[in-house]
Amino acid sequence: MTIHQNLIAGEWTGTNAAENINPSDTNEVVGLYAQASAEDAKAAIAAAKAAFPAWSRSGIWERHVILKKAGDEIMARKDELGALLAREEGKTLPEAIGETIRASQIFEFFAGEALRLAGEVVPSVRPNIGIEITREPLGVIGIITPWNFPIAIPAWKIAPALCYGNTVVFKPADLVPGCSWAIADILHRAGLPKGVLNLVMGKGSVVGQAMLDSPDIAGITFTGSTGTGKRVATSSIEHNRKFQLEMGGKNPMVVLDDADLTVAVEAAANSGFFSTGQRCTASSRLIVTEGIHDKFVAALTEKLKTIVVDNAMKPGTHIGPVVDARQLQTDTDYIRIGKEEGAKLAFGGELISRETPGFYLQPTLFTEATNQMRISREEIFGPVVSVIRVKDYEEALATAIDTPFGLSAGIATTSLKHATHFKRNSEAGMVMVNLPTAGVDFHVPFGGRKGSSYGPREQGKYAVEFYTTVKTAYTLA
């Protein structure tokens, strides 16, 4: 097989490679991808630093054209790239194509933002003095992305970084290098100058650590586990660098007695189980008032019986495999913990065999859970969901916000009063009413509160807050 190499200073390099394995069919090697060393990471950082002065002063039309070309190519290749995504991550083919389209839209959006860069001219309180307020790029941006959205999350970090004039050192999750390599290749061929975007694939303990240790990285944007996020924060404080963290979630979905049962079940099933539950915005806590509880559990159980778990590339599959053996072990460990804690296993929880060998797990539903159980407090990141019975709306809200996380929250209700109150009082960065908690638009801010996020929001025009710094200039007339 051809080795897909790292991109450093505009050159493809690297001969030491690792296999990219298909979780739907562990006999299939999706491709060979280079493994960068710490020295490779240092070379990439140096290349980005050297490229920054020219790129930060590049014309907005040049940036627009490159980002637009990238978005257009991703869209034109959506079926091919979607298939690559499905094979390396295990997301179903329709979901994978949808994510690829979203990546294209993100590049399209920031191609437009490159032409909308603006500042302010304001009067001084002193006579004959003018003031200009402008935004300037930070410098070298370190980008570290997770495995669950292999093309969308790299897109929503890389596109704004380049749009606002920064250079990039990009380390994708080592489980899913394929889509990241494709993005780097597309941008490279779209005309990015050498060193503006550097791709260093490999282990976080090697490549990621070299990035954290470097004083030449001006900002790091990270999406991943809470533990690693804390390490990013600690190292960034040491180097006085800007940092942005998107970490875990234990997102609640409240279902009230007055909810439309069909709407509630569809939203809960989508939130908790689709994408194999491997979304930071997934609802793994269903908080259900007692008047609708039994009907809701019965209807959701019937819904789960119809969900097809199979190869991500197979037509008709609703849910693909868990991403790898380690995550599958985590999921099954939590299923065991839930049983030991006294929750009732209402559905699923068993490993599944399919035509191709893979990491297949039944959607798993616990009932009679409490909000103090580990399965209700710790992020599992799999198709494992707990139902918590509560008395009324007030108890539901109190339970929903009783969590160290605060990314996304949802409510199913036909009451305008309760919907409005929940939107105002839910301690989450994103709130959904009669919708799945997972699923957001590309042009509006993404992020959470408490232990879920730190720093400025991602996506949309709000991305400018992280990728730029503000300068105030005074001139005597």
Show which residues are catalytic.
Answer: 246, 280
- Residue positions counted in the chain: 477
The closest alpha carbon to 364, from 271, 273, 297, 436, belongs to 273
Q: Is residue 410 within 8 Å of 437, Cβ to Cβ?
A: yes
Structure tokens at 392: 């009324």
Q: What stretch of H or E contains 122?
A: strand 120-123
The closest alpha carbon to 136, from 205, 57, 227, 26, belongs to 57
The order of strands in the sheet holding 140-144 is 11-13, 6-8, 197-199, 167-171, 140-144, 219-223, 242-246, 453-454
The residue written with tokens 């889509």 in the block is 179
Residues 45-57 as b or e (16 or more Cβ within 10 Å = b): bbbbbebbeebbe
Q: Is 276 left (phi over 0), alpha (psi -120 to 50) or beta?
A: left
d(CA 54, CA 186): 21
Q: Is residue 251 within 8 Å of 285, Cβ to Cβ?
A: yes
Structure tokens at 92: 């179903």
Alpha-carbon distances of 129 from 119, 135, 470, rounded to whole Å: 17, 20, 19
Question: From start to end of 195-347, where are the E strands?
Answer: 197-199, 219-223, 242-246, 251-255, 283-289, 344-347
The residue written with tokens 């039944």 in the block is 362
Alpha-carbon distances of 214 from 88, 141, 145, 207, rounded to whole Å: 30, 11, 18, 11
